[in-house]
Amino acid sequence: MLEAYGLSDLGCVRKNNEDYCLLAPELGLYLVADGMGGARAGEQASQLAAETVANYIWRSGKKDADTLVFAFEAANRAVKDAAAADSGMEGMGTTLVAVLESGSEILIASVGDSRVYLYEKGVLSPVTEDQTWVNEVGRRLGIDEETLRNHPLRHVLTMAIGVSSPLRIHSYTIHLDPEACILLSSDGLHGVVSTENIVEVLKTEQSFEAKAHSLIDAARKAGGPDNITVALLRSKNSVPAA
């Protein structure tokens, strides 16, 4: 079982929090979602997607890669159906990343641009790949990184729960060493705080709770233009990652 701590913050600009963090250690399941849509639609989408995945895993009693993919597909249907049933929710959707313990393996699934990182031996490495115009189109066209950072399409997703059909789900499997930890984040963190600054927080000997608050504080000090969500995971009884 993993030790886990999650924290979500409104940020400095937004009036409501459309991010959602769900930690279900009894299922070995940990999720972060970043909703989008008018009014409260984004909040509805992120919570519905995360809870649908958790309910699917719980009902299935299985912890394998196929089940996690099926759970994401169920979340996609649930958000689409909710939007179709209420005109006020039209166009809502959400990113979604999930970590699922499966024996000695860590299964990961991702849609959108919320991320999972592995932090080990002082190095922060992205596990997931963003489903964005910048990553899937701009970089393949050879557009330089400086231009991409300011491109008008830099925030455009190429895939999202509740919006895309068929759904492209990225799946990964990793093994978590005792001294390593996993970071899940919405782009309110990794889109604002540099990798170097995130590492500066993670390498400290603070508790997970303190590290999560420090990461949120770093994003807020950088302007906090979006909602900010982080979740930190590591093997129980492990030494702090450094």
pLDDT above 70: percentage of residues in the chain: 88
**Per-residue pLDDT, 37:** 84
Mean pLDDT score of the chain, rounded to an integer? 91
CA angle 56, 119, 138 (to 5 degrees): 80
Is residue 46 exposed (0-12), middle (13-18) or buried (19+ Cβ within 10 Å)?
A: buried
| Residue 32 vs residues 80, 116, 240: alpha-carbon distances, Å | 19, 9, 22
Higher per-residue pLDDT: 30 or 240: 30
Per-residue model confidence as pLDDT tens digits over 103-120: 999 999 999 999 999 999
36, amino acid identity: M
Q: Is the pLDDT of residue 240 over 80?
A: no
Per-residue pLDDT band for 152 (boundaries 50, 70, 90) equals low
In 3D space, the residue among 67, 97, 74, 95 whose CA is nearest the CA of residue 159 turns out to be 95
> How much is the average pLDDT of 50-63?
98
pLDDT per residue over 172-225, tens digit each?
999 999 999 999 999 999 999 999 999 999 999 999 999 999 999 999 999 999
pLDDT at 156 over 90: no
Domain boundaries, the chain: 2-234
Higher per-residue confidence, 90 vs 24: 24
Identify the band that residue 25 occupies on the pLDDT scale cut at 50, 70 and 90: very high
Does pLDDT of 239 surpass 60? no
Most confident of 134-143, 163-172, 201-210: 201-210
Q: Buried (b) or exposed (e) across 66-94, using 16+ Cβ within 10 A?
A: ebbbbbbbbbbebbbebbeeeeebeebbb
**CA end-to-end distance (rounded Å), the chain:** 21
**In the chain, which ranges are E strands?**
2-9, 19-24, 29-36, 93-94, 96-102, 105-111, 115-120, 123-126, 170-174, 181-185, 228-235
My answer on whether omega of the bond before 166 falls inside 30° of 0, hence cis, is yes
CATH code at 2-234: 3.60.40.10
Residue 242 has what pLDDT?
53
Q: Are 231 and 184 in contact (CB under 8 A)?
A: yes
